[in-house]
Amino acid sequence: MNDLLAALLLGILEGLTEFLPISSTGHLLIAQHWLGARSDLFNIAIQSGAILAITLVYRQRIWSLATGWQQPAQRDYLLKLSAAFAVTAVLGLAAKLGGVELPETVTPVAWALLLGGVAILLIERRARHFGDIAEITWKVALVVGAAQVVAGVFPGTSRSAAAIFAAMLAGVGRRPAATEFAFLVGIPTMFAATGYEVLRHLMEGGDAEAWGELAVAFVAATITGFIAVRWLLGYVKGHTFVPFAWYRIALGAALLLGLPAGS
């Protein structure tokens, strides 16, 4: 397949899966078995394309947080976003430097999809007891920050899923509130991760990346990500994440059953 077309397809796939709790990294890894493997920089940079879509969707909310920090409620929310990001940055950098990460092969991704689906079912059942709680506490912020690191260590977990369900597990009963916090904290997280990978790439020479293909995938991820997140924000107002759990379980089981030994 033409490399540019493959990059376009990967960008579309990233945009569609980044915000759904089904793991964009896992889907990209699976797709790259057929479309060709890509660099860490490519995979993280196109995730930032999807995160740019979140920035556009939440532009008014971000503006109100940036300009309304004098208001106690706005300042409190902004500080909790900052705390969640700080936890992710410190623990994530420590994990990165320490080499704490599973290999990005299909087997661990399949297990992460399957077990993550089961976890979603259990968390959804527990979340019924939290009622209409929408408050983002300090506990929620710290747990969400740590959950993002877990998603980075275990390919196939899904960063957005880990953050959303960590918030729900920590007591946020309203899915829209948990989703908003998870999405907003993902903005600095993914942009920082991209900056780290770009810096590392440049320090290692910076001449092997196909920048044109990366740009095409980035734009595709931004456009499809914008569409996907607008849909999801409407969906969570009246639905649970249970269908996504069963999708993860089915896909994970199918991958495990279809894998040759040693994959």
Residues 6+ apart with CB under 8 A from 224: 11, 12, 14, 15, 16, 50, 53
Instruction: Provide the pLDDT for residue 93.
Output: 86
Give residue 1's pLDDT band: very low, low, confident or very high (50, 70, 90): low
Cα-based distances in Å from 173 to 47, 194, 229, 236, 243 = 28, 32, 20, 12, 18
pLDDT exceeds 70 at position 262: no
Domain count, the chain: 1
Q: b or e along 105-129 (b: 16 or more beta carbons within 10 Å of the residue's beta carbon)? A: ebebbbbbbbbbbebbbebbeebee
pLDDT exceeds 70 at position 60: yes
Instruction: Provide the pLDDT for residue 193.
Output: 82
Instruction: Provide the pLDDT for residue 114.
Output: 94
pLDDT exceeds 90 at position 24: no
Cα-based distances in Å from 58 to 53, 112, 133, 180, 219 = 9, 29, 22, 9, 18
Report which DSSP code applies to 157: S
Average pLDDT over residues 99-118: 85
Domain assignment of residue 138, yes or no: yes
Quote the CA–CA distance of 189 and 193 in Å, as a whole number: 6
Average pLDDT over residues 5-31: 90
Instruction: Provide the pLDDT for residue 174.
Output: 86
pLDDT exceeds 70 at position 206: no
Query: Hunting for tokens 């078995």 — which residue is that?
Result: 33
Quote the CA–CA distance of 7 and 233 in Å, as a whole number: 27
Helix ranges (H only) for the chain are 3-17, 24-35, 40-57, 59-67, 72-97, 106-127, 138-153, 159-169, 175-203, 211-235, 242-258
The mean pLDDT of the chain is 88
Quote the CA–CA distance of 257 and 263 in Å, as a whole number: 11
Quote the CA–CA distance of 116 and 111 in Å, as a whole number: 8
Quote the CA–CA distance of 172 and 132 in Å, as a whole number: 8
Question: What's the burial of 87, exposed, middle or buried (CB within 10 Å: 0-12/13-18/19+)?
Answer: buried
Supply φ then ψ for residue 236, to 5 degrees. Answer: -70, -15
Instruction: Provide the pLDDT for residue 261.
Output: 45
Enter the pTM of the model. 0.87
Instruction: Provide the pLDDT for residue 33.
Output: 79
Quote the CA–CA distance of 96 and 17 in Å, as a whole number: 24
pLDDT exceeds 80 at position 62: yes
**Tokens standing for 54?**
């979140």
Instruction: Provide the domain limits for residue 175.
Output: 3-258
Quote the CA–CA distance of 19 and 169 in Å, as a whole number: 19
> How does pLDDT run across 132-175, given as a tens digit for each residue?
778 899 999 999 999 999 988 888 888 889 999 999 988 888 88
Domain assignment of residue 77, yes or no: yes
Quote the CA–CA distance of 252 and 242 in Å, as a whole number: 15
Domain assignment of residue 263, yes or no: no
Q: Which of 21-30, 67-76, 177-186 has the lowest mean pLDDT?
A: 21-30
Domain assignment of residue 153, yes or no: yes
pLDDT exceeds 60 at position 48: yes
Average pLDDT over residues 13-17: 93
Domain assignment of residue 57, yes or no: yes
Please answer whether residues 54 and 159 qualify as being in contact, where contact means their C-beta atoms are separated by less than 8 angstroms. Answer: no
